[in-house]
Amino acid sequence: MKPGKVSKVVLAYSGGLDTSVILKWLQDVYGCEVVTFTADIGQGEELAPARRKALKLGIQAKNIFIEDLREEFVRDFVFPMFRANAVYEGEYLLGTSIARPLIAKNMIKVARRTGADAISHGATGKGNDQVRFELGAYALMPDVKIIAPWREWDLLSRDKLLAYARRHGIPVEYKRKQGGAPYSMDANLLHISYEGGVLEDPDYAPEESMWRITVSPEKAPQRPEHVELEYRRGDIVAVNGRKLSPARVLAELNRLGGKHGVGRLDIVENRYVGMKSRGCYETPGGTIMLRAHRAIESITLDREVLALKDDLMPRYARLIYNGYWFSPERRLLQTLIDASQASVNGKVRVKLYKGTVLVTGRKSKDSLFDPRIATFDDDRGAYNQADAAGFIRLNALRLRIAARKGRR
């Protein structure tokens, strides 16, 4: 995009080094009015400094938006995703991916409210987040203009960003730990991710001090802790008998899981833009949620419904990872997934112990588990075992025909 074509832009603003430099850069290069948008999605940071910093950089108070989106994040994004048991490439619980459409949605709301014709973000030209932000924005405001500074400027290192900040009097705090590893971190109520720096070597083992919300499994309590989760239509509504809002459910599970060293992950994943990337993640609450949700589904869903959900899950997870939350195909899959959850009600018990989550019980009024039929003892005629012979022979028919033809 050529500078000078924008009148007002909404910037996804954290108050950190990158977005503070972007704010000034937008003013200088595009000469446009800047609106800042800061989302509280449970990243655990004080957001008042972002407001003060925006004011110091000349942003009018009416153009500073700070929104608490924690409940919306969990209720409308995290919970629907966990109804699908979504896992990307077998391991990643999509903590960063699921937050981006929420931020894009609310940036567009602010753009419409303020009459802005553009949005801007601090995602680099190498990562997935640029795709997620922009696909979301275009889906909700087709003619919106996008300014992605990392694809335009030459400030391609932290040292260059700091030098720019000093030249323009931008107040920033950026301290690299002496003797420690520098990481790029992204946090929200679902997880914390760590990337970059020495983690770019996939053979480097991160030091223990990197992890923020989980204790080392070796240092976790010697005694396990039992937790009961109550489900209604596939969502957790209570923890240990205490009714909680969606955001408070996840916060409580993060606390419990983190205490017992649950939810650490170190993987190499395939980015949508084509490269492999190493990332470390802490997702204590999400790890508990996934295990417990599969447990309650195991007794409340039909076998073929479960199989269909498992078949569709990788596609659903890729849609979220790649930024297609607002696509018609994701919405279609969500309708099917949500319909499957009508009977997913009941309670699950899990045991947390030194990094593990073990299901120890599950019960539901909607359970399809029939002990009269499943028992190894006398079932008093509930199940005729002789029926199995015909069932087996019919299923073996094609195998027997092939064998007679000499095929193995």
* Nearest C-alpha neighbor of 297 from the set 313, 274, 284: 313
Q: What is the pLDDT of residue 174?
A: 53
What backbone phi and psi angles, to 5 degrees, belong to 225?
-125, 135
Q: Are 253 and 247 in contact (CB under 8 A)?
A: no
The pLDDT of residue 17 is 87
What does each of the 408 residues of the chain score in pLDDT, given as a tens digit?
455 589 999 999 998 889 999 999 999 999 999 999 999 999 988 888 899 999 999 999 999 999 999 999 999 999 999 999 999 999 999 999 999 999 999 999 999 999 999 999 999 999 999 999 999 999 999 999 999 999 999 998 888 999 999 999 888 765 444 444 467 889 999 999 999 989 999 999 999 999 999 999 999 999 999 999 999 999 999 999 999 999 999 999 999 999 999 999 999 999 999 999 999 999 999 999 999 999 999 999 999 999 999 999 999 999 999 999 999 999 999 999 999 999 999 999 999 999 999 999 999 999 999 999 999 999 888 999 999 999 999 999 999 999 999 987
**Which domains, from first to last, does the chain contain?**
8-70+95-167 (3.40.50.620), 184-363 (3.90.1260.10)
Residue 304 has a pLDDT of 98
What is the model's pTM?
A: 0.95
Predicted pLDDT at 324:
98
- Token representation of residue 212: 């923020």
Whose structure tokens read 């659903």? 316
Would you please indicate which residues are annotated as catalytic (active-site) residues?
18, 100, 129, 184
pLDDT score, position 181: 42
Q: Could you tell me the strand order of the sheet in which 33-40 lies?
A: 64-68, 33-40, 8-12, 118-120, 145-147
Q: Residue 191, exposed/middle/buried by CB under 10 A (0-12, 13-18, 19+)?
A: buried
Q: Which of 3, 66, 1 is nearest to 35 (CA)?
A: 66
The alpha carbon of residue 126 and the mean position of all alpha carbons in its chain are separated, in whole angstroms, by 19
Q: How far apart are CA 89 and CA 56, in angstroms?
A: 44
| Per-residue tokens: 210 | 């990197």
DSSP for 102-114 reads HHHHHHHHHHHHH
Strand-strand pairing, 225-232 and 346-353: antiparallel
